[in-house]
Structure 1
């Protein structure tokens, strides 16, 4: 079985998209995923599956659509890919809560600033299937817009690190929910 991390888009943000993590766990188990664990109430879930990334995404999106009555975006990465994101963080010396990994499924541009608007003192670097964004002043007042990220979802590096740790533990025995 492959270890996966699924990141839901726009869950529990601004009072919309409420999805209890117990429901998310149940939806994942109904999809046939094993060892399902969630982390914080913002749509992060780790699990094992025999399916491919596309099969996992499709199964979860289908169940989420049936539950919510609308599309909920899902980004899926293997446990190894999440660990690689942590290892490739170009802003390793910055506070983890100020660095975001913006996960996308569309091809990345050649230039990380291509089409970007509202940039202030933020710094953007390309990953493999993600943008890394350093917000030196935090995200509260940013005007930064990254066109390639419109259909993606971002997590700060503290969260990505915890998800990598949880995903790595899938093969090593019991893990706790967050």
Structure 2
């Protein structure tokens, strides 16, 4: 058994795509996952399974569509992978609520860094690292044009969490 975290994109934001966490946990248990837990109401699911990440992503996305009636992108990372992602954070001195990790559905396509650079301000350094993109929003995400247009610029489905949330999810994994 491997412990995984699944990050769901765009649920429970502004009243759209509502997914109650109790129903999400029940759905995951119904798929045969064990040790199921959620962290806050923004689509952070922790569970154990013998299946591979790509299979889990497809399975969860399909089950969510069947259960809730809308599509959701799902990014799955193992406990070991999440530990490495946090260790690789190029902005360890940044305030954890202002440093984000974007979990990409696939490797960042060619030109992603150049597209991000067109909107990144001096106080918004970023690092593209394979299937993750780290951004330090020095003045916060609330007024950042980069944050607002990030998914379109990166060119692949992405779901973003701040480092504090990723740390909490990893702690929940045990």
Matched, 1:27 2:43: no
- String of CA shifts for 1:102-137, please: whole Å, max 9, x gaps: 010222246663212422231101224200000000
Matched length:
168
What is the distance in 1 between the residues matched to 2:125 and 2:48? 34
Matched, 1:88 2:88: yes
What is the distance in 2 between the residues matched to 1:56 and 1:123? 32
- String of CA shifts for 1:5-45, please: whole Å, max 9, x gaps: 00000011111111110011011001110000000000001
Distance 1:19 1:77, change over 3 A: same
What is the distance in 1 between the residues matched to 2:160 and 2:60? 19
What is the distance in 1 between the residues matched to 2:155 and 2:14? 19
User: What is the deviation of 1:62?
Assistant: 1.2
Counterpart for residue 131 of structure 1: 133
What is the distance in 2 between the residues matched to 1:72 and 1:119? 27
Counterpart for residue 79 of structure 1: 79
Q: Tell me the TM-score normalised to structure 1 length.
A: 0.89
Deviating beyond 3 angstroms after TM superposition, the runs of 4 or more aligned structure 1 residues are 109-112
**Preserved contact between residue 75 and residue 104 of structure 1 (Cα < 8 Å):** yes
Please tell me the root mean square deviation across aligned C-alpha atoms, in Å. Answer: 1.5
Counterpart for residue 66 of structure 1: 66
SS in 1 for 2:38: strand
Matched, 1:158 2:159: no
1:103-142 alignment runs, 5 A limit: 103-109=103-109, 113-116=113-116, 117-120=118-121, 121-142=123-144
Structure 2 residues without counterparts, runs of 5 or longer: none
Structure 1 residues without counterparts, runs of 5 or longer: 170-178
SS in 2 for 1:46: strand
**Preserved contact between residue 98 and residue 156 of structure 1 (Cα < 8 Å):** yes
**Preserved contact between residue 82 and residue 163 of structure 1 (Cα < 8 Å):** no
Q: After alignment, is 147-156 or 128-137 more displaced?
A: 147-156
SS in 2 for 1:114: helix
Q: Tell me the TM-score normalised to structure 2 length.
A: 0.91
